[in-house]
Structure 1
């Protein structure tokens, strides 16, 4: 049984016998679903889960690149959301909160599975004058350099890249929004990553993804 099915079992186990929300999640806004979830409505939680599972999974997969591990991260996000529902204090858009939570989950995974010393070694080469105590400043400088590269990209490439990394849209969603093919979206993102790689040297692909997650957003 897949992790998604296991999470579905978790939702059904918690489900009230008398709940009967409409099946289409499109009839409820994120804020409406969140209020219902905070009140313990299991159907609302299921609708929220169905609305965001695939998007969050695609987002996390970009970083961890292992399907089962990405599913674990998203699963833990939703289970934590449910268990902490009564104490949640979300002041941003719910989508922003969920994607930020997914990002931090991916970062924790990467820190455990990709030697952080490799990243720090890269950072020391990029900003050799920065002592350990000024690491936060060094990270900020690298982030600014990444933004400079993105800002200098051709208009269409930059548009595609920002929709992918900032708004967390899938290739299909970007293609539909811009009226281009999914293949064009993939090529634009690939070329954008090539420009970033050219700026920061010959670094592993996983490390480059880590940088875009940890620094750019």
Structure 2
């Protein structure tokens, strides 16, 4: 199997039942995903199990998934699996049963309604409501993972301006519908 193929090309082969392409994708992304899961879980066995489950589900659903950006998709899927694990009743610490029930209701509704495409669409729609400069700075920070100093230098503005714009964007996202908020958590944007 040619390891120089792009994720998109490999995914097309996976959809056509090519297990070697799937193994290449797995090997290419496993370490980063494992480190992400470990960051949140602090348990190697659970992190490995979540990755295993995420990739098994991916293989099982390969014929039905429309994946444009494999790296983003598998990252969000892994974070979602971690999030599901962490929100299990034995792990959630809430002030009261009422708080837990409200959170569970919101999460269940969101889980039923949000697919990856919905997440991306709703997030883009929400971000499109921001001023252009604010949106650009937020995307540079969260998607390109640039530091505030790097953004300031790149755009020729102060670090304080960058911080203010990111704060404004986060406030806007937090005030948006609960599905957007959950999407942001899953995408590690908040």
For the superposition of Structure 1 and Structure 2, which TM-score range results when normalised by the shorter chain? Answer: 0.5 to 0.7
Residue equivalent to 2:172? none
Indicate yes or no: 2:94 matched with 1:94: no
Pairwise CA RMSD of aligned residues?
Answer: 3.9
Residue equivalent to 1:17? none
How many positions carry a matched residue from both structures?
124
Tell me the secondary structure at the aligned position of residue 40 of structure 1.
coil
1:44: Cα distance to partner?
0.4
1:118: Cα distance to partner?
5.2
Deviations 1:59-86 (A, max 9, x none): 1111111111011011111111111111
Among 17, 27, 34, the alignment partner of 1:40 is 17
Residue equivalent to 2:57? 80
The residue correspondences of 1:1-217 to structure 2 (distance < 5 A) are 21-22=1-2, 25=3, 27-90=4-67, 92-112=68-88, 113-117=90-94, 162=141, 166=143, 213-214=185-186, 216-217=188-189
**Partners in 2 of 1:31 and 1:67 — Cα distance?**
29
**Partners in 1 of 2:95 and 2:47 — Cα distance?**
22
**Partners in 2 of 1:97 and 1:116 — Cα distance?**
29
Q: Could you tell me the TM-score, scaled by structure 1's length?
A: 0.46
Instruction: Extract unaligned runs of 5+ from structure 1.
Output: 1-20, 124-131, 137-157, 179-211
Deviations 1:57-112 (A, max 9, x none): 0111111111110110111111111111111122x411111011011101001011
Change beyond 3 A, Cα 1:111–1:38: same
Instruction: Extract unaligned runs of 5+ from structure 2.
Output: 107-137, 151-183
Change beyond 3 A, Cα 1:49–1:214: closer
Tell me the secondary structure at the aligned position of residue 87 of structure 2.
helix
Change beyond 3 A, Cα 1:50–1:36: same
**Partners in 1 of 2:54 and 2:80 — Cα distance?**
10
**Partners in 2 of 1:96 and 1:120 — Cα distance?**
35
Tell me the secondary structure at the aligned position of residue 86 of structure 1.
coil
